[in-house]
Chains A and B, each alone.
Chain A
Amino acid sequence: MFSTGTTPREAFDRLQIAALVGLMFIGTAFVFSATMVNDLAATQPWYDQTWVRQIVWYVLGFGVAAAMCLLDYHTLARWAFVAYWAMILCLVAVLVPHVGSMRFGARRWIDLGFFQFQPSEFAKLAFILATANFLSRPPDELKQPVIFWKGIGLMLLPFALILKEPDLGSALVLLPTGLVMMLVAGTPRRYLFNLIGTVGLLATLFVVDLKFLPTRWQVPMQEYQRDRLLIYFGRNYTDFAPPGATQAELQRLRQKQADDGYNIRQALISVGSGGLVGKGWRQGTQNALGYLPRAVAHNDFIFSVIAEEEGFVGSVVVIALYAVVLFTGLRIAGQARDRLGKLVAVGVVTLIFSHVFINIGMNIRIMPVTGVPLPLLSYGGSSVLCSLFAVGLLQNIHIHRKGY
């Protein structure tokens, strides 16, 4: 009856999809470069090779995300709390000794044979849906303190469980996600400022305590976590040796410091020696010569490989692609039909941004080393699937956006 006279609305946000495809392409190329460095790798059958598996995850994730878009996100949101509690259960399960598999000193995966299921990744999505659902009540209700604390509780439960694994990085990304969602939902600012202020103060005290005060006064924490922070702040382990340590023990501490700081040192050398234009695809000497440890080159430190091989230009391209995804996501948030959609979109955007910031920051040493994957570029089934699901949610919200 009424003709709108406007251009026909496309169903999918093409710009975001284009950026996504760009990232997937880069991901494949650099996982290839990071893993196919010696003859041993070339002798593996093609279906076993890492980059092929990455493509498989891409295709799978893309397919499932597309399928998800057929459903209205409201349908998904109805199951939000079911998913949330299911994920909490999985997180508890992963901590149980026989169920969760221990790798590198952390219990983060459930071994399903063909697939290492990492509940924390899926938990992040479930958390976003559940929180968005929770926060999409009328804004006035949010002014009540009890609702505020319930929201915080919703965030802290998975946070604590993930932290126990231990997986500081994944736990950390929940915090800004939750807080930003609360901000956008309309929680009174002063609640948030008070909370952030207090936490900030505690964090600063903690850092001061760690950096400047002698050993006796320090807050007890796990040794490897303290070591990570020491590396980050550039302090020597030997400064924190127990009094009366012998030369042999000090030497061992120094060696340990060298070993612990090895990854970040090699990552910095990789990133820095890339220079402006990099050394060329598969010409990265750090990777080819094995200085960047093979175990981490294709996941946590994939950005170092990209930075070494494509230089500053390449880094900027990667960041630009992420920026496109993030800002189109914000645009989707702005055009969302209702508060639920807006909150989910904002949550996803903040989640992706937190991953990007922490991972790239870790590669250039502005953040301490935490095991946070780079969405879509790091190798890893759970990470790829969840990133694609997340963007799928964004597309979903976009499809069902405001008609005006």
Chain B
Amino acid sequence: MLVFDELKKNEPHLRLVAMLLVAGLCVLLAGLWWVQVVSSREYQSHLETQAFRTIRLPAVRGKILDREGRVLAENEARYNLCLFLDDLHQPFDTAFGELLKASHAAQKQHVAAAEKRLGRSLTKPERKQFVLTPAQLQAQRVAARFLVASGIVAQVSQQMDEPLALDPKQFERAYETRLALPYPILPNLNASQIARFEENFTNKLGVDLELQSVRSYPLGDTAVHLLGYLQHDDSSEEGEDSFFNYRLPDFHGVVGVECGFDDELRGRAGAESLLVNSQGYRKSENVWSQPEPGQNVVLTIDLDLQRAAEASIAAHHGADAQAAVVVMDVRNGDVLAMASSPTINPLYFTGGLSPEEMQQEHARRADLNLRPEINRATQENYAPGSIFKVIIGLAALEAGLNPQELYTVEADPEDPRHGMYDVGHIRKRDTAPPGKYNFMRAIERSSNSYFIQVGLQTGIDRIVALAEKFHLGEDLELPTRQETSGNMPSSERVHEHWSAGDTANVCIGQGEVAVTPLQMAVVYSAIANGGTVYWPRLVSRIEPQDPTAREMATNLPSALVRDQIGVSARSLNILHNAMLAETEDVEGTGKAARVGDALRICGKTGTAQVQDSANRTTGYNYWFASFAPYEHPRYAVVAMVQIPGAMMAGGGGAMCAPIAHDIYETILEKDKAAAGKILAAN
């Protein structure tokens, strides 16, 4: 190199200096290499961390549909009027500039006044006291922003004819922590307000409508327990980034189908990144992952039957009745209707109620007698009463009972119109009159005495074994998180301090036996379909929201067999005939359910005592469990009403059979309409 050649001539000092220079420059180059090439990615990520903000974009929630695709739960657009602080930084700066000018002018005046007073010009330290401190400047900035924002809000308020106010503290906090997100000033606009806004605000500087997706239940409180409700939850799911700077509101299901199928309904959240400058203002945005919409959940519920069940309960017992109805397809375990009363208002959670309505609803939920949020079809244990007798009957028939054999029921000395039976020294009273009973008559008239005798003869072990085949006392493994498993004494239990009296209680469906209406629907379906205990199915398939999407629907397996009760066809036949007589015979307790010969119904009524901890009777559970049509059973209907106080005349036959009647009528109409369509098509 030219320079070095010349230095070689007798200039050792300069050579040394040159070498020092080279060494120094090499150190710089090495350092730059390290920072700019080797560590470049690390610094780029630091840059991104400070300059990028990520926003979690929740996906559109899937709908919940009934088996024919009718909507039970969907999403509604809600429009909020918001301030977009990002777009306002020009006006903010301008306003601050003005304030600053004003305060400088004021400062000059003060200085002039002070000088006038002192009669001389001020020295530097004296001048200093008029200078604005950084804290004062900051306060002016805050004031400028609030001025601009409240000006806009006042404009909006005038145009929209709504009283709107801006809270300075909240506004400032939103500015500091959530600058990139919209700041709501008027939530949930109705259509006329939206129209007004669109008309009047052509120059929408800083103010605009924000679209939010809100869950809506268009059918009101139909199937409200089964559907469940949502709660605010914007946390990340598995498989998502766990860190976001901002999260837009998102929800997750708490109970019901909304909860059990929350993963499918919720879809996958997307992410957006914003580039912000050192003051937090948005410079650009980029959606780097689109949210994947949630999938629709199609239930096995038939909306017509569901509505019929709910209407029927309300019509016969009022809105505050404590009741449940389950309609099941006996051929595969599909739940066609699941109604529970009293109901709750789903708007309580989505914020669509007025403050008075919220108060009312709140009081309702706090009422310990009502407890409207319980799904009585699956979440409460009830003594089954006489509807449990079918199991006793089957066990007895299998053990060799002759259905034609007549048993004599003695009259109760205290109440000669009713029968009684003594188990040891415990007297079991009957609602049926004294006399001679065979199997059919005992079912028809629901004779306690007959079944206690028969049950004692059969032995508790056989009864418990059969009940275990029906899987009573066990969970039905529902996805909805709303179930109890009932109670059935196990084979160990019945050998520990177990008396004949306890067996007698079991025979009449009291004592330690407790069931849920859905469990009884499974039992009666099994009896109806020839002995197959199916797993109840609530959801039939999961399909993509967009019908043109590439993904296919997922069909959930149906007709999953849980067990076979292993009872002979002969026994079942005898039972079916007896149950048919209950609805068709003059003596039958379930006459009220009858809809005619087009649909022949087999039923069993029940009335169970509800006892408190001191064994006092506080009320009764009234049941009617049935299936139809008799020839080739398709539907099982179980209706239950719990009424406190004295026993209602007519028992289950009067309280619940009419509900079943309404449902069967609806079934009949549907069948006719379907047949009509087929005929028309032909």
Within the assembled complex, what's the spacing in Å between the Cα atoms of A321 and B406? 120
Interface membership of A258, Cβ < 8 A:
no
Interface membership of chain A positions 302-340, coded 1 if the CB is closer than 8 angstroms to chain B and 0 otherwise: 000001000110011001001100111011011100000
Chain A residues, Cβ within 8 Å of B37:
275-276, 312
How far, in whole Å, are A151 and B11 apart by their CA atoms in the complex? 22
User: Of B17, B27, B42, B278, which is in contact with the most chain A CB atoms at under 10 Å from its CB?
Assistant: B17
CB-defined contacts of A334 to chain B, threshold 8 Å: 6-7, 9, 11, 14
Q: Interface-forming stretch among B28-36, B190-198, B232-240, B448-456?
A: B28-36
Task: Please determine whether A268 and B43 come into contact, CB atoms closer than 8 angstroms.
Answer: yes
Let me know if A275 and B40 touch, CB within 8 A.
yes
Binding site of A, secondary structure by majority: helix, strand, loop or mixed? helix
Contacts of B7 in A (CB 8 A): 330-331, 334
Given contacts A269-B43, A357-B28, contact A349 B16 (CB under 8 A): no
A353 with B21, Cβ < 8 A, contacts A272-B44, A289-B276, A331-B7 known: yes
Q: Is the CB of A271 within 8 A of B32?
A: yes
In contact, A180 and B32 (Cβ under 8 angstroms):
no
* CB of A282 to closest CB in B, whole Å: 14
Q: Given contacts A183-B13, A330-B14, A334-B14, is CB(A315)–CB(B32) below 8 Å?
A: yes
| A364–B32 CB distance below 8 A | yes
**Cβ-based interface call for A290 (8 A):** yes
Interface residues of B in 290-335 (CB under 8 A from A): none
Which of B2, B17, B39 is the one whose CB lies under 8 Å from A272?
B39
CB distance from B91 to the nearest CB of A (A): 13
The reply to whether the CB of B111 lies closer than 8 angstroms to some CB of chain A is: no
Q: How far is the CA of A335 from the CA of B51 in the complex (A)?
A: 53
Contact: B14 with A273, CB < 8 Å? no
| Interchain CB contact (< 8 A) of A271 among B18, B21, B43 | B43
Can you name the residue of chain B whose Cβ is closest to the Cβ of A314?
A: B36
Give a binary string over A339-365; 1 marks a CB under 8 Å from any B CB, 0 the rest. Answer: 000100010011001001100110010
**Given contacts A328-B3, A331-B6, are A312 and B17 in contact (CB under 8 A)?**
no
Question: By the criterion CB–CB under 8 Å, are B278 and A289 in contact?
Answer: yes
Q: Is A205 an interface residue (CB 8 A)?
A: no
The verdict on A42 contacting chain B, using a C-beta distance below 8 Å, is no
B17 touches A289 (CB 8 A): no
Q: Which residue of B lies closest to A290 (CB)?
A: B278
Could you tell me if B275 and A180 are in contact, using CB atoms closer than 8 angstroms?
no
CA distance A108 to B674 in the complex (A): 97
Task: Tell whether A366 is near chain B: CB-to-CB under 8 Å.
Answer: yes
Specify which chain A residues have a CB less than 8 angstroms from the CB of B31 in the assembled complex: 360-361, 364, 366
Pair B51/A291 contact, Cβ less than 8 Å: yes
The answer on a CB contact under 8 Å between A276 and B51 is no
Give Cα distance in the complex from A319 to B29, angstroms.
Answer: 8
| B276, A360: Cβ atoms closer than 8 Å | no
Q: B16: shortest Cβ distance to chain A, in Å?
A: 7
Q: Hey, which chain A residues are within 8 Å of B577, CB to CB?
A: none
Residue A274 lies at the interface, judged by CB distance under 8 Å to chain B:
yes
Least Cβ distance of A287 to chain B in Å? 10
Chain A residues with CB under 8 A of B11: 334
- Assess the B40–A272 pair: CB atoms within 8 A: yes
Q: How far is the CA of A364 from the CA of B33 in the complex (A)?
A: 10
- Shortest Cβ gap from B467 to chain A (Å): 65
Contact assessment for A184 and B40 in the assembled complex, using a CB-CB cutoff below 8 Å: no
Q: Which residues of B contact A285 (CB under 8 A)?
A: 47, 51, 275
- B508-534 near A? 1/0 per residue, CB < 8 Å: 000000000000000000000000000
- Cβ of B25 under 8 Å from chain A: yes
Q: Is A28 an interface residue (CB 8 A)?
A: no
Bound-state CA distance A68–B591 (Å) is 125
Contact code string A155-192 (vs B, CB < 8 Å = 1, else 0): 00000000000000000000000001001101000000
Complex CA–CA separation, A356 to B42 (angstroms): 26
Q: Is the CB of A353 within 8 A of B27?
A: no
Q: Does B279 contact A (CB under 8 A)?
A: yes
Take A315-B36, A346-B17 as given contacts and tell me if A289 and B51 are in contact as well, using a CB distance cutoff of 8 Å. yes
- B17, B28, B277: which contacts A330 (Cβ < 8 A)? B17
Judge if A33 is at the interface, Cβ distance under 8 Å. Answer: no
Residues in B neighbouring A312, C-beta threshold 8 A: 32-33, 36-37
Using a CB-CB cutoff of 8 Å, which residues 265-284 of chain B contact chain A? Answer: 275-279, 283
The verdict on B650 contacting chain A, using a C-beta distance below 8 Å, is no
Is the Cβ of A180 less than 8 Å from the Cβ of B17? yes
Kindly supply a per-residue 1/0 record for chain B positions 600-616, scoring 1 wherever the CB is within 8 Å of any chain A CB and 0 otherwise. Answer: 00000000000000000
When C-beta atoms are compared, the residue in chain A nearest to B8 turns out to be A334
With beta carbons under 8 angstroms apart, the residue of A183, A307, A346 that contacts B32 is: A307
Contact partners of A299 in chain B: CB under 8 A: none
Q: Is A286 an interface residue (CB 8 A)?
A: yes
Instruction: Pick from A183, A273, A315, A342 the residue with the most CB of B within 10 Å.
Output: A273
Does A346 contact B14, Cβ atoms closer than 8 Å? yes
Q: Are B17 and A349 touching (Cβ within 8 A)?
A: yes
Do B3 and A272 have beta carbons less than 8 Å apart? no
Q: In the complex, which residues of chain A have a beta carbon less than 8 angstroms from the beta carbon of B42?
A: 272
A275–B6 Cα gap in the complex (Å)? 37
Answer yes or no: B50 CB below 8 A from chain A CBs.
yes
B24 within 8 A of A: yes
Closest to B16 in A: A183
Chain A neighbourhood of B6, CB < 8 A: 331, 334-335
Please indicate the chain A residues that have their CB under 8 angstroms from the CB of B562 in the complex.
none
> Given B13, B40, B275, B283, which contacts A273 in the complex, CB threshold below 8 Å?
B40
Please measure, in the bound complex, the distance between the C-alpha atom of A70 and the C-alpha atom of B34, giving whole angstroms: 45
B35 pairs with A271, CB closer than 8 A: yes
Nearest CB of chain B from residue A284's CB, rounded to whole Å:
10
Chain A residues contacting B29 (CB-CB under 8 Å) are 316, 319
The complex places the Cα of A123 from the Cα of B16 at a distance, in Å, of 26
Report the Cα distance A289→B27, complex, angstroms: 31
Q: Which residues of A contact B2 (CB under 8 A)?
A: 331
Q: How far is the CA of A9 from the CA of B51 in the complex (A)?
A: 56
Instruction: Return chain B residues, CB-CB under 8 Å to A290.
Output: 277-279
> What residues of B have a CB within 8 angstroms of the CB of A335 in the complex?
6
Task: Find chain A residues with CB under 8 A from B101 CB.
Answer: none
The answer to whether B46 has its CB under 8 Å from any CB of chain A is yes
Taking the closest CB of chain A, its distance from the CB of B468, in whole angstroms, is: 63
**1/0 contact string of A219-236 vs chain B (CB within 8 Å):** 000000000000000000
Min CB–CB distance A128 → chain B (angstroms): 14
Q: Report 18 cross-chain contacts, Cβ distance below 8 Å, ordered by A residue.
A: A180-B20, A269-B47, A272-B46, A274-B36, A276-B40, A289-B51, A289-B277, A290-B278, A290-B279, A315-B36, A327-B1, A331-B3, A346-B17, A349-B21, A356-B28, A361-B28, A364-B31, A366-B31
Instruction: Give me 20 other A-B pairs in contact (C-beta within 8 A), A269-B46, A271-B32, A273-B46 excluded.
Output: A269-B43, A271-B36, A272-B40, A272-B42, A273-B47, A286-B47, A290-B277, A316-B29, A316-B32, A330-B3, A330-B21, A331-B6, A333-B14, A334-B7, A334-B11, A353-B24, A357-B27, A361-B31, A364-B35, A366-B28
Give me the 10 closest cross-chain CB pairs, A-B, nearest first: A272-B43, A290-B278, A289-B277, A312-B36, A275-B40, A184-B13, A327-B3, A273-B44, A273-B43, A273-B47
